[in-house]
Amino acid sequence: MKRVLLIEDELPIASLLQAYLEKDNYEVKWNSGEGEIDVMEQFLSWKPDLVLLDLMLPNDQNGIEILHQIRQLGSCPVIILTARGAVPDRLQGFDHGADDYIAKPFDPQEVMARIQAVLRRSVYMTDSDIVRIGSLVIDVSTRTVTVGTEQISLLPRDYQLLQFLVEHPNQCFERDHLLNEVWGIDFEGGDRSVDTSIKRLRKSLHQWPAHEGEIDTIRGMGYSLRVY
Residue 19 near residue 43 (C-beta atoms within 8 A): no
Instruction: In whole angstroms, give the CA distance from residue 131 to residue 169.
Output: 12
Q: How far is it, in rounded angstroms, from Cα 4 to Cα 21? A: 8
Instruction: Give residues with Cβ within 8 angstroms of 40, minimum separation 6.
Output: 66, 69, 70
Lowest mean pLDDT among 34-43, 45-54, 131-140, 162-171: 34-43
In the three-class reduction of DSSP (H, G, I as helix; E, B as strand; rest coil), residue 37 is classed as coil
Helix ranges, the chain (H): 11-23, 39-46, 63-73, 87-95, 108-120, 156-167, 175-178, 192-204
Q: What is the CA radius of gyration of the chain?
A: 19
Residue 169 CA: distances (Å) to CA of 19, 22, 121, 158: 29, 27, 8, 16
* Distance between CA atoms of residues 99 and 78, nearest Å: 5
DSSP, collapsed to helix, strand or coil, labels residue 215 as strand
For residue 224, pLDDT beyond 90: yes
Q: For position 196, what pLDDT does the model report? A: 94
Confidence at 123, pLDDT banded by 50, 70, 90: low
Torsion of CA 80, 85, 91, 92, to 10 degrees: -60
**152-166: average pLDDT:** 91
C-beta separation of 105 from 78 below 8 A: no
Average pLDDT estimate for 43-56: 89
CATH topology of domain 124-227: Arc Repressor Mutant, subunit A (1.10.10)
Q: Rounded mean pLDDT of 128-136? A: 82
87 confidence band (pLDDT: 50, 70, 90): low
Instruction: Please list the residue range(s) of the chain that carry CATH number 1.10.10.10.
Output: 124-227
Residue 126 scores a pLDDT above 70: no
pLDDT(21) > 80: yes
- The correct CATH number of 3-120 out of 3.40.1260.10, 3.40.50.1820, 3.40.50.2300, 3.30.70.600 is 3.40.50.2300
Which residues make beta-bridge pairs with 131?
125, 138
Rounded to whole angstroms, how far apart are CA atoms 137 and 213?
12
> What is the DSSP pairing of strand 130-133 with strand 124-125?
antiparallel
Q: What is the mean pLDDT of residues 103-123?
A: 83
Please enumerate in sequence order all residues whose Cβ is within 8 A of that of 8, keeping only pairs 6 or more positions apart, or say none. Answer: 14, 17, 30, 31, 32, 33, 52, 54, 81
Residue range(s) in the chain whose domain bears CATH number 3.40.50.2300: 3-120
pLDDT at 51 over 50: yes
Distance of alpha carbon 99 from alpha carbon 53, whole angstroms: 11
More confident residue, 66 or 19: 19
Residue 147 predicted with pLDDT over 90: yes
- The residue that leads in pLDDT, 123 or 180, is 180
Lowest model confidence (mean pLDDT) among 41-50, 55-64, 161-170:
55-64
Q: Looking at the predicted structure, is the pLDDT value of residue 200 above 90?
A: yes
What mean pLDDT is predicted for residues 125-130?
A: 59
